[in-house]
Chain A
Amino acid sequence: MSDTSKPAQGFRLDALMPGEGQIHRLSALATLLLLVAGFSIASPAFFSVNNALTVLLQTSVIGLLGIGMTMVILTGGIDLSVGSVLALSGVVSGLAVKAGVPVAPGMALGIVTGAACGAFNGFVITKLRITPFVATLGMMLIARGLALQVTGAVPVSGLGEGFGTLGNGAPFRIVHMKPNGFPQVLFPGIPYPAILLLVMAVAGAYLLRRRQLGRHIYATGSNEEAARLSGVRVDRVKLYAYTITGALAGLAGNVLMSRLVTAQPSEGMLSELDAIAAAVIGGASLMGGVGTISGTMIGAFIIGTLRNGLNMAGVSAFIQQIMIGLVVIGAVWIDQMRNRR
């Protein structure tokens, strides 16, 4: 055996070295910090508490979608429907609230709709044996069509202040009353979407690392046949993964529509691609079995920071797209170079 000659000390050193996945995440984190540093120099307004919170707010939707996308990609699949499911869920919540349902149950209804779309994806993939790409492409059209149909392609507005709380509220807001009677905002508060993103990211990482389902998600993506022979109920694992992704897309939809205080049936176009890009930049492999929530979060923030920073630097939206595209290709290229060694 090759390892008999290996000295015990070598083993110890190995244990101290960061693993391959960690290296990727560290390099992604370094990229993120470089971006922040670069944009701070380019535009003094970038590095401020207010702007940081704006980035947090803008990234929360990509982040929520990215958590679900990571799980699906880990199983070796893909979910192209999250953008449309986001819109459908938001629209369902909006219509429910408009019809007089209180905000919390109304939003829950939207999230359930998202989960149902995800479960349908899982059903089509595992029972009808249709590849994830095609199955979720179908759902992408179905969900978008439904959202447009039920609203007549007209945004649902006049939803009341309660509907806007989730997207616009910010606890821990510190306001100081100045002697002249005008309030002064010392700290604008942490937006609810950011808190939600943190909670969901921690919950997702916990699920993947510490629970049996998470272990089975990795095993399914790593070697589906081996997982099946080892007694993993592969179909059920996939069904759960797609359902969770659908529910998270529903949650993201509610966050987004709440921020706009309007249910827009055409929202979230192409946001599935942002979510995939976030996961891939964060080190997830589309072949399955490789990826982490923390990596995807870094990926989401790289995209969010890039958008925000380029906006502040006055770069056009078209150039932004080009740059994000290059970042995606670059991230995967660097990863492949590293693996080929």
Chain B
Amino acid sequence: MSQPLVEMIDVEKHFGGVRAVDHVSLDLCAGEVVGVLGHNGAGKSCLMRMLSGAMVPSGGEIRIGGEAVQMTSPNDARDRGIETIYQTLALADHLDAPANLFLGRELKTRFGNLDDTRMLREARTVLARLNPNFKNLRDPVSSLSGGQRQVIAIARAIYFDTKILIMDEPTAALGPSETAMVADLIRQLRDEGIGIFLVSHDMHDVFDLCDRVVVMNKGRLVGAHRIDEVTKDDVLSLIIKGELPADWSARNLAPAL
């Protein structure tokens, strides 16, 4: 395997005496989907927020493409090709779809004015790719359906030159057909060589899409496995108890009957 896209080494985050993330190390390669699982409050969102620059680690090192980086704002992460789709979607409700898509990275004319015409055109193109029925682009996003809002959040993450994508519960607000669309999109992005962290509670999605899973429990990383080494029950055991079943051996090897 070539140089990993992301290496997180011994990363920690404390809030006062609470260890939200406790000495966690993991990596992510290009063209790979890694599922990040755990209870609510297990520290997975916290871990991902450190990678997306929204939170500064208390200790440890993050390497992007082999280079140690200090990321103190979401802009730092974005500059390195790390895009995040937040569970809350992080949309400004009163702005329209193009304004949200380009928020923080507005296209400008030569005179430094906002280039709304070009932003609308680009938005139309990228949104049509995800949902051909998306027509009401000028409406404030508060008036859009949950699916459309999700599409904007996804479009915002893939429009720019993305190398690493963090998806926090990307299908939580979606219906079955839209979930399938997101799954197709994840495969397509993986094939383009993008590394993806998929934070999810949906075991089916995880086993369907991920190459590897990492499981967090009480801030610690309790398991990191190739998807064919484990069953859903093994992963559940890791999530709930923080350990594998006592009789576990890698499931892809010849079963010890």
Contact = CB atoms under 8 A, between A and B. Distances in A.
Interface of A: 1-4, 6, 8, 11, 14-15, 209-212, 214-216, 218-219, 221-223, 225-233, 289-290
B112 interface: yes
Interface residues of B, number: 37
13 contacts: A3-B133, A3-B145, A6-B135, A215-B95, A215-B99, A222-B95, A225-B90, A226-B91, A226-B92, A227-B92, A229-B84, A230-B104, A289-B92
Contact of B93 (A214, A232, A289): A289
A48 B112 CA distance: 43
Given A1-B147, A215-B99, A229 B86 contact: yes
Contacts of A227: 92, 103-104
B78 A218 contact: no
A263 B75 CA distance: 47
A222 B92 CA distance: 5
A195 B89 CA distance: 44
Interface in B52-77: 52, 54, 73-75
Contacts, number: 94
B75 A231 contact: yes
B88 interface: yes
Contacts of B133: 1, 3-4
B98 to A, nearest CB: 11
A223 B91 contact: yes
Contacts of A4: 133
A11 B136 CA distance: 7
A134 B106 CA distance: 33
Nearest to B90: A226
A229 B114 contact: no
B248 interface: no
A211 B114 contact: yes
B200 interface: no
A8 B99 CA distance: 23
B148 interface: yes
Given A1-B131, A3-B135, A230 B103 contact: yes
Nearest to A214: B114
B142 to A, nearest CB: 9
A228 B88 CA distance: 13
A221 B147 CA distance: 24
A110 B198 CA distance: 56
Contact of A219 (B54, B95, B138, B156): B95
Contacts of A225: 88, 90
A231 B78 contact: yes
Contacts of A8: 135
A338 B79 CA distance: 42
B147 to A, nearest CB: 6
B135 A215 contact: no
B236 to A, nearest CB: 31
Nearest to A209: B114
Contacts of A221: 94
Contacts of B100: 230
A212 B92 CA distance: 15
A233 B104 CA distance: 8
A212 B114 CA distance: 6
Given A222-B95, A289-B93, 8 more contacts: A1-B131, A211-B112, A212-B108, A215-B95, A222-B93, A223-B92, A228-B54, A230-B74
Contacts of B93: 222-223, 289
B2 interface: no
B94 A290 contact: yes
B135 A11 contact: yes
Contacts of B99: 215, 218-219
Nearest to B103: A230
A5 B99 CA distance: 26
Contacts of A6: 135
7 interchain residue pairs of minimum CB distance: A231-B104, A222-B92, A226-B90, A289-B94, A230-B103, A222-B94, A230-B104
Contacts of B84: 229
A39 B135 CA distance: 47
Contacts of B204: none
Given A3-B134, A222-B93, A223-B92, A212 B103 contact: no
Nearest to A285: B94
Instruction: Give the interface centre of A4, A223, A225, A227 by most chain B CB atoms within 10 Å.
Output: A223
A232 B84 CA distance: 15
Contacts of B121: none
B114 A215 contact: yes
